[in-house]
């Protein structure tokens, strides 16, 4: 066969294939997924993931207060506003950092008590959070033509396709076109990880900066686990599988009959103490969300943080454990570190003999 005929056959094969074969999968939206997966959709719809970013017309029914001088007509999006705090994006796509008249004011709304905190006060703050707060993110362009927004996306918040990938081919042929189903923490770490020089948890104001769950998981004794060993991916993070006893059955012997066990205190209250810094000042050793370091040090002289200098940069990191102040004094507020160490020694062995 001549070279000319081979070229013609090649062009015919690739140029005249049906469009469904040539076209890449497209985003269809989470509502489309609900038509076949209503049970999973129903769990996801009440989770915090979908509400990481909402248009103002949707969020205004959530009983949120607004920064000083603003009305809902001045707001394009709300960031968060589910459980802990909310930030607001103006009609030009910039995160609001001052009062409507430009004066210095608190603009981060804390849902827990209705208070306000400063957030990059007075700065012109781009909304460049779309990579982690939206589905189908593209760093090019400006969503809705708003100059303060960096990038575009297909769906507000974290929808089904943020984890499973574009669903158009699956919708067209569910039996053949399966979607991504990964149990690796690599999928979660795209957003649940931050860092300075590297990805170890960073110190901030005596606590740990932001959530950084993956950072802490990698630094602690459970770095071999994945998020799905404990979390149900379509449900709220708080609906955790309390399965510590699968591996730590000996530590649990007799615990239910102990003082802590009878009080209903679970493993996570000590081993996953609330470490990251809160927007609202609480007790000295109470942060915002649960740490994923797990290990507790009862060394009286140990420092939970370490400073690293590298390539001209300096960062202070959390080590791979929690100290007794956070594990014990968040509840036993009238006690001190010495008391905590005394009672934490051989804690699990002691309650077995009670």
Please give the Cα distance from 248 to 245 (Å, whole number).
5
Instruction: Please state, in angstroms and rounded to a whole number, the distance separating the CA atoms of residues 276 and 291.
Output: 7
Say what the pTM is. 0.79
pLDDT band at 21 (very low <50, low <70, confident <90, very high): very low
Band of residue 171 on the pLDDT scale cut at 50, 70, 90: very high
Q: What is the mean pLDDT of residues 157-178?
A: 89
d(CA 25, CA 246): 40
pLDDT at 135: 96
Encode pLDDT of 286-302 as tens digits.
777 788 889 999 999 88
pLDDT in tens, 207-260: 555 567 887 888 888 888 888 888 888 888 878 777 888 888 888 888 888 889
Which tokens in the block code for residue 149?
């927004």
Query: Is the pLDDT at 26 greater than 90, yes or no?
Result: yes
**Would you state the structure tokens that stand for residue 296, as one six-digit string?**
């507790």
């Amino acid at each position: 066969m001549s070279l000319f005929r081979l070229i013609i056959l090649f062009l015919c094969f690739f140029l005249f294939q049906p469009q469904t074969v040539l076209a890449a999968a497209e985003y269809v939206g989470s509502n489309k997924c609900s038509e076949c997966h209503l049970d999973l959709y129903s769990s996801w719809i009440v989770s915090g993931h979908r509400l990481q970013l909402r248009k103002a017309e949707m969020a205004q029914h959530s009983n949120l207060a607004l920064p000083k001088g603003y009305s809902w007509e001045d707001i394009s999006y709300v960031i968060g506003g589910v459980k802990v705090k909310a930030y607001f994006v103006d009609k030009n796509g910039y995160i609001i950092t001052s009062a409507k008249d430009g004066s210095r004011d608190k603009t981060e709304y804390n849902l827990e008590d209705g208070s306000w905190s400063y957030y990059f006060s007075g700065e012109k703050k781009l909304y460049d959070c779309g990579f982690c707060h939206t589905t189908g993110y593209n760093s090019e362009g400006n969503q809705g033509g708003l100059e303060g927004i960096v990038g575009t996306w297909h769906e507000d918040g974290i929808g089904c396709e943020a984890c499973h990938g574009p669903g158009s081919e699956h919708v067209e042929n569910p039996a053949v076109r399966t979607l991504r189903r990964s149990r690796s923490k690599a999928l979660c770490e795209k957003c649940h990880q931050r860092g300075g020089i590297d990805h170890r948890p960073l110190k901030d104001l005596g606590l740990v900066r932001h959530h950084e769950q993956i950072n802490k998981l990698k630094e602690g004794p459970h770095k071999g686990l994945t998020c799905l060993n404990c979390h149900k991916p379509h449900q709220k993070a708080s609906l955790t599988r309390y399965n510590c006893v699968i591996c730590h059955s000996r530590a649990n012997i007799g615990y239910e009959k102990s003082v802590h066990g009878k009080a209903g205190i679970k493993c996570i209250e000590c081993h996953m103490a609330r470490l990251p810094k809160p927007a609202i000042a609480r007790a000295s050793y109470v942060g915002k969300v649960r740490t994923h370091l797990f290990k507790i040090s009862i060394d009286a002289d140990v420092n939970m943080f370490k400073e690293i200098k590298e390539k001209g940069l300096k960062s202070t990191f959390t080590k791979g454990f929690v100290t007794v102040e956070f594990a014990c004094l968040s509840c036993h507020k009238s006690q001190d570190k010495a008391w905590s160490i005394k009672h934490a020694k051989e804690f699990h062995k002691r309650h077995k003999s009670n």
